[in-house]
């Protein structure tokens, strides 16, 4: 009699262990599925932003963004860099440096510091920039902004120069950062 009771107990324990192992495997598979689903959502997620004036909307994901988003940031950077006076140049350039990627911060900081020194040397000048055209090259991650750069002096407005501002960019975790800034004259 004790032998039958022991065999029945042993069988029930084996069944219980097998049931627990099966449950563990099922929970493990569910967890793996959930993890892969979450990772897929993270990499494919796009945040759509509609501005208050309702005239435009743009989207940004972890590694890419809409043309409107890129152009808005690039034009903002161009305005900070090129619409300056000797009294606001340091403030504008410090705001521009907030957009710069950490790996390029020192080189761009030195570039802007040299430019600020030049602008402050001629303390009666003011500079403006009117954007006329923008282009985006997603392969090289560059935004090209063409426009007219004007210098204002005590004697009045000087002849505008046509300039192209090339802004290198990166988008990491939906954050726009600047990697390079180059300015060239064009005809």
Cα separation of the two ends of the chain: 105
Distances (CA, A) of 88 to 17, 22, 91, 150, 179: 74, 69, 5, 17, 23
Q: Whats the size of the chain, residue-wise?
A: 187
The two structure tokens encoding residue 148: 């007219």
Query: Does the pLDDT of residue 50 top 70, yes or no?
Result: no
Largest separation between any pair of C-alpha atoms in the chain: 117
- Residues 133-180 have pLDDT tens digits of 999 999 999 999 999 999 888 888 888 899 999 999 999 888 899 999
Within 13 A of 160's CA, how many CA atoms are on the CB side? 14
φ and ψ at residue 102, rounded to 5 degrees: -55, -35
What is the CB neighbour count within 10 angstroms for residue 64?
13
CB 134 within 8 A of CB 146: yes
Q: Which of 177, 170, 176, 173 is nearest to 61 (CA)?
A: 173
In this prediction, residue 2 carries a pLDDT of 79
Name the pairing type of β-strands 46-50 and 156-157: unpaired
In this prediction, residue 89 carries a pLDDT of 93
Q: Among the residues of 1-88, which ranges form H helices?
A: 2-44, 67-82
% of the chain exceeding 70 in pLDDT: 90
Query: Does the pLDDT of residue 62 top 70, yes or no?
Result: yes
* DSSP 3-state percent helix, strand, coil across the chain (nearest 5): 45, 35, 20
User: Where does the pLDDT of residue 36 fall: very low under 50, low under 70, confident under 90, or very high at 90 and above?
Assistant: confident
The two structure tokens encoding residue 74: 């690039």
- Residues 97-140 have pLDDT tens digits of 999 999 999 999 999 999 999 888 877 789 999 999 999 999 99
Q: Look up tokens 């979450």; give the residue.
A: 38
Sorted by sequence, the CB contacts under 8 Å of residue 44 that are 6+ apart come out as 61
């Amino acid at each position: 009699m004790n032998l039958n009771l022991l065999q029945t107990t042993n069988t029930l324990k084996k069944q219980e262990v097998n049931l627990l192992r099966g449950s563990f495997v099922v929970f493990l598979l569910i967890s793996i599925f959930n993890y892969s689903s979450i990772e897929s959502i993270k990499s494919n997620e796009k945040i759509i932003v509609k501005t208050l004036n309702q005239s435009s909307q743009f989207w940004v994901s972890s590694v890419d963004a809409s043309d409107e988003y890129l152009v808005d940031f690039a034009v903002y950077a161009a305005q900070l860099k090129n619409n300056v006076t000797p009294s606001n140049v340091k403030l504008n350039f410090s705001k521009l440096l907030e957009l710069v990627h950490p790996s390029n911060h020192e080189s761009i900081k030195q570039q802007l510091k040299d430019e600020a020194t030049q602008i402050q040397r001629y303390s009666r000048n003011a500079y403006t920039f009117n954007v006329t055209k923008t282009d985006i090259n997603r392969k090289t991650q560059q935004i090209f902004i063409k426009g007219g750069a004007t210098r204002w002096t005590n004697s009045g407005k000087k002849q505008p120069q046509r300039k192209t501002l090339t802004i290198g960019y990166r988008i990491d975790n939906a954050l726009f950062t600047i990697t390079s800034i180059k300015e060239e004259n064009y005809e």
